Amino acid sequence: SQQGEEDPQALSIQEGENATMNCSYKTSINNLQWYRQNSGRGLVHLILIRSNEREKHSGRLRVTLDTSKKSSSLLITASRAADTASYFCATVDSTLTFGKGTMLLVSP
């Protein structure tokens, strides 16, 4: 079963715009991670945020975590065509449980 659920399912933007994806989950977590997947290939780890953190930055990525609302968001600033991919949140207790993902399309 899927623990996290990303929203929106698909997002289409122009290069230079910001992209925001949201993730909601159901049970308590140790940390939450975001991964990226290019067209059916393996997933690549982007960023990890611990349950006692509220915000984290990595380059053009900004992740927030609200444990009271059981939700997280991933913001990609100044998007590029190369950011086109599917993005998944994964909640962590002893194993990683992934959501269904958000498909991001960035057009030049």
Partner 1 sequence: DAGVTQSPTHLIKTRGQHVTLRCSPISGHKSVSWYQQVLGQGPQFIFQYYEKEERGRGNFPDRFSARQFPNYSSELNVNALLLGDSALYLCASSLRTGEAGANVLTFGAGSRLTVL
Residues that bind partner 1 (CB under 8 A): 1-2, 4, 30-31, 33, 35, 40-45, 48, 50, 88, 92, 94-101
Would you call 73 exposed, middle or buried from its count of C-beta atoms within 10 A (0-12, 13-18, 19+)? middle
Beta-ladder partners of 31: 50, 92
Nearest approach in angstroms of CB 20 to partner 1 is: 19
Phi, then psi, of 63 in degrees rounded to 5: -120, 135
Nearest approach in angstroms of CB 51 to partner 1 is: 8
Q: Which is nearer to partner 1, 15 or 26 (CB)?
A: 26
Rg (the chain; Cα; Å)? 13
Q: Which is nearer to partner 1, 18 or 38 (CB)?
A: 38
Q: Which is nearer to partner 1, 16 or 99 (CB)?
A: 99
Nearest approach in angstroms of CB 16 to partner 1 is: 28
Which whole-number Å values give the CA distances from 19 to 41, 55, 73, in the listed order? 22, 17, 10
